[in-house]
Structure 1
Amino acid sequence: MSIALKLFLISSPHSTTPGGVQPNQSNFSNPDKEESTMADDSDECEALLVYMNLCLQSVLDSYKRRQAVRARRIEETDRPLTVVRNANRKHVSVLRRGLQRRNGIVLMANFQQRRKVALWKHLRSSEWWDNVACNFTDSQWQRSFRVSRATFQHLCDRVRPAIERRDTALRLCVPLQKRVGIALWKLATSSDYRTVGHLFGVGVTTVCRCLHEFCQAVNQIVLPEAIPEPNAEELEEMAALFQRKWGVPQCVGAVDSSHIPIIAPKDFHHHYLNSRHWHSVVLQAAVDANGLFWNVCAGLPGSVSDANVLRQSGLWTLANDGALFSSRRRRLCGEGVGYYVVADSAYPLRSWVMKPFEDTGALDDGQKRFNSKIGLARSVVENAFGRLRGRWRCLMKRNDCNVDVIRAMVVTCCVLHNLCEKNGESFTEEPDTQEMQQPADALSSGDDSEGTAVRNALMQYLSTEQ
């Protein structure tokens, strides 16, 4: 404060020069006037000092208040929250509520000051689906998607609860019909994901997700009604139809296996290498006289033989439990013959599995006739596999999906095959279809005595039949 006072006195117009000499010479000639002037100057200096003291004190008080407020804020931020307990032992956190309110106000202010978020989206064109595919004729639609428009709409209605999505505030969802169309196009053409994405105007991940969700929905919702387990009445109708078409009594189906080519998986890839030295998974199916699948087992590695596939399938469990083929027996040439399925030489001979006699060059007429009848009845499953692979080209080319996804895709194709066959939809195989050669069937051993007796009785019955 003394330094400021000195500066003020030096800058005053009545201040003395160094040495104490006044610059005004007229004061020497009037001493009374000099005394009065000095008295006035002393009063003015005292007033100025008081004013300056008040100003400095105000500035210091304001500075101290600001420092105290800042220290209090820092202390409240770093200090742990204190909890006050009332008489009822209830926790009342006054400071917490105050800090939460203050933090909410700060966050709201920061949110209002922040720049709006800009969404980035890759531009894709769905011109083909919106303006070309939707204007297909019925024949063009069926050739492209392998199903009729009625079957397509039926699939959309059935899988709607599982795969339909809704629009969000960020983007529009892929419509249900478009999702089903993407899955059917992938199954029918076996195109790679990128090509399908460019065609439908979606990303590769969207194509993959649509295919997986569609296959899961079909296997969970449509499979029980498209490939049901036959009951006693249906088995009787199936046996009557087989005998009417091919003259084989008590036959309710034909069993065979087909290898689906895949790309070698990362884990245990040698297990999926079949006898033709390419990787595959096995599809085993039982079909009725109309070529409809009524039992399907898919996904086992390609190195597993047909006999072992049968033993690991659900058909083997149903037959051995006696819940499927022993409901009605028929007396033929002194032997009780129940329901059975026909198969090739790669399957074991059982009372419910009939296979032809091994051709050693010494077969008699009865055995040759039996082999001929069994071969004609077994042709229905070969034709069914041919139509299945012709409709759904993904079963003919090496698939780059995961093994679990391929298993779901194979079963989905079987379900779609039954829907098309039941609706009487025509199928024309494309001439450029190239199919990988199926592995050769290995002869199976371990025939049981009951199966041998049933086969001999059937041979005698077919020999005596006109």
Structure 2
Amino acid sequence: MDQSFLLMLSNLLHLHNHLDPTSALLSDAHSPTSTSSSSTSSSLLTSSSAAPLLFFTIASVLSYLASSRPPSSSAATATNPTTSSSEFSVSAFRALSTEHIWAMEAPLRDAQWRSSYGLSYPVFTTVVDKLKPYIAQSNLSLPSDYAVAMVLSRLTHGLSSKTLASRYSLEPYLISKITNMVTRLLATKLYPEFIKIPVSRRRLHETTQAFEELTSLPNMCGAIDSSPVKLHRLPSDYNPSTYRSRYGYPAVQLQVVADHKKIFWDVCVKGPGGIDDATHLRDSLLYNRLTSGDVVWDKVINVRGHHVRPFIVGDWCYPLLSFLLTPFTWDRTGSPAQNEFDAALMKGRTVVEEAIGLLKGRWKILQDLNVGLNHAPQTIVACCVLHNLCQIAREPEPELWKEPEESGPPPRVVESEKSLYYIGDNLRHALADDLYQRLSR
């Protein structure tokens, strides 16, 4: 029998003898002929007092509890020096997400989740559920929800791998590895599902109708803009002037097209920060698809004898094309009809400006991107996917990240775009005259 059990039983018998001195149990327990466990048990069971049986029962329960209790954390650490403190972090996270989370009121729960991970708990679980099959294939030693939570906390707070490693009790190289894996999955596996060109009849009608209510311009289906994403550090073997943005810091260029809900339906991160908006557009897949007719928008209206297909709008840094309309002037020095058109166009452009402001406001890592240059594009695209998830779920919008006003000369017309420019110019004049006439009634 376990020595600790015998000691406990002996102490209980002493206590019993003190409480019930008329019984002979204590003397039996100390007699040379009563040292075996069988004699002790029989004495307890045959005693006329109820106290011995009670003490025996208590001793049995305590013995069972002592034998079933797992070793303490300090003992486990002493016997297994390779045990990492990250195991306790995983346990803490899983306890919060699986046990305590449902005991909380939904507003409080989601506020806590947004504070930590940039989105509410239901949206978080959506991301985890969609990434779990791919994460499982990677043989990652961490649970999927813990890995996603760790990466989201980095994206939403802009933490470095070293800071996050200290917080989650993991090695910095492992933080970088998990970040690269999760952002790559977001940028590749979830991109086709959550970033789509509006080509379906229902979505195209909804988008153009909403933009017309906002701007009074018919058949607008999106607004385009570019934004430099600041790099925390540029590798020494890269040309600084190539990556220096118009604001003076090293960056990579982000180009997005947004709809009326500030949801991105195209994202491109293909050029260094020193590239101009027009050149970046011409290098993008979207440009190639629109110029080649690969994107078919089945919605054509007639405006003053011109067939107007769905178009996007941009500022004066973009070229005027059949599918991309820009302002007549940047300082409202045109005719009354042109100025009315420019004001309406720029009102439509505000959605993409605000979408970029929300993107950088939600995912603060984009304010100072502290990942390797090779992983910068996928990190940016991953944040765009998460932004769309938040907009679709109607998450509360954070404070907008504000960028300085843009300035610069309009782009030159290249030879291959002359016919597209001619069509775009005619459409712009027709829309301007039609808008001015309607507003003048």
| 1:449 alignment counterpart | 422
Q: 1:146·1:188 contact (CA, 8 Å) conserved in 2?
A: yes
| Cα drift, residue 409 of structure 1 | 0.5
Q: 2:215·2:348 contact (CA, 8 Å) conserved in 1?
A: yes
| 1:404 alignment counterpart | 374
Q: SS in structure 2 opposite 1:465?
A: helix
| Cα drift, residue 197 of structure 1 | 1.2
Q: 1:219·1:408 contact (CA, 8 Å) conserved in 2?
A: yes
| Cα drift, residue 360 of structure 1 | 6.2
Partner residue of 1:200 out of 148, 159, 168 = 168
**In the alignment, residue 113 of structure 2 is paired with which amino acid?**
W
| 1:427 alignment counterpart | 397
Q: Name the structure where helix makes up a greater proportion of residues.
A: 2
The percent identity for this pair of structures is 26
Question: Please, what is the CA RMSD of the aligned residues?
Answer: 2.5
| 1:460 alignment counterpart | 433
Is 1:395 equivalent to 2:366 in the alignment? yes
| Cα drift, residue 249 of structure 1 | 0.5
| Structure 2 length-normalised TM | 0.72
In 2: Cα distance, 1:368 partner to 1:424 partner = 34
Q: Deviations over 1:160-205 (max 9, x none)?
A: 12223798xxxx9222111111110111111111111121121111
| Cα drift, residue 261 of structure 1 | 0.3
| Cα drift, residue 436 of structure 1 | 6.4
**In the alignment, residue 228 of structure 2 is paired with which amino acid?**
H
Is 1:215 equivalent to 2:186 in the alignment? no
| Cα drift, residue 407 of structure 1 | 0.4
Q: 1:165·1:176 contact (CA, 8 Å) conserved in 2?
A: no
**In the alignment, residue 246 of structure 1 is paired with which amino acid?**
T
Q: SS in structure 2 opposite 1:159?
A: helix
Q: SS in structure 1 opposite 2:190?
A: helix
Q: SS in structure 1 opposite 2:225?
A: strand
Q: 1:165·1:175 contact (CA, 8 Å) conserved in 2?
A: no
| 2:257 alignment counterpart | 286
**In the alignment, residue 340 of structure 2 is paired with which amino acid?**
R
Give unmatched runs, 5+ long, in structure 2.
1-78, 102-108
Q: 1:362 to 1:441 in 2, by over 3 A?
A: closer
In 2: Cα distance, 1:362 partner to 1:300 partner = 33
Partner residue of 1:155 out of 127, 130, 139 = 127
| 2:230 alignment counterpart | 261
| 1:247 alignment counterpart | 216
| 1:415 alignment counterpart | 385
Q: 1:286·1:293 contact (CA, 8 Å) conserved in 2?
A: yes
| Cα drift, residue 444 of structure 1 | 1.6
| 2:308 alignment counterpart | 337
Partner residue of 1:363 out of 334, 337, 340 = 334
Q: 1:121 to 1:288 in 2, by over 3 A?
A: same
Q: Deviations over 1:191-230 (max 9, x none)?
A: 1111111211211111111101101111222111111232
Is 1:328 equivalent to 2:296 in the alignment? no
In 2: Cα distance, 1:379 partner to 1:306 partner = 17
In 2: Cα distance, 1:166 partner to 1:365 partner = 61
Q: 1:288·1:294 contact (CA, 8 Å) conserved in 2?
A: yes
Q: 1:460 to 1:279 in 2, by over 3 A?
A: same
Q: 2:329·2:342 contact (CA, 8 Å) conserved in 1?
A: no
In 1: Cα distance, 2:206 partner to 2:268 partner = 23
Q: 1:325·1:352 contact (CA, 8 Å) conserved in 2?
A: no
Q: 1:272 to 1:415 in 2, by over 3 A?
A: same
Q: SS in structure 1 opposite 2:307?
A: strand
| Cα drift, residue 388 of structure 1 | 0.6
| 1:34 alignment counterpart | none
Q: Deviations over 1:116-153 (max 9, x none)?
A: xx986374356566447645732111122111111111
| Cα drift, residue 385 of structure 1 | 0.5
Q: SS in structure 1 opposite 2:370?
A: coil
| Cα drift, residue 241 of structure 1 | 1.8
Partner residue of 2:111 out of 139, 156, 179 = 139
In 1: Cα distance, 2:319 partner to 2:138 partner = 52
Alignment of 1:296-307 (within 5 A): 296-307=267-278
Q: SS in structure 1 opposite 2:217?
A: coil
Larger radius of gyration: 1
In 2: Cα distance, 1:291 partner to 1:414 partner = 11
Q: 1:326·1:338 contact (CA, 8 Å) conserved in 2?
A: yes
**In the alignment, residue 445 of structure 1 is paired with which amino acid?**
R
| 1:174 alignment counterpart | 142
The number of residue pairs the alignment matches comes to: 341
| Cα drift, residue 253 of structure 1 | 0.2
Q: SS in structure 2 opposite 1:216?
A: helix
Q: SS in structure 1 opposite 2:184?
A: helix
Instruction: Tell me which moved more, 266-275 or 199-208.
Output: 266-275
Q: Deviations over 1:404-433 (max 9, x none)?
A: 211001000000011111111113329xx7
Is 1:235 equivalent to 2:235 in the alignment? no
Give unmatched runs, 5+ long, in structure 1.
1-117
Partner residue of 2:156 out of 181, 185, 188 = 188
| Cα drift, residue 364 of structure 1 | 1.6
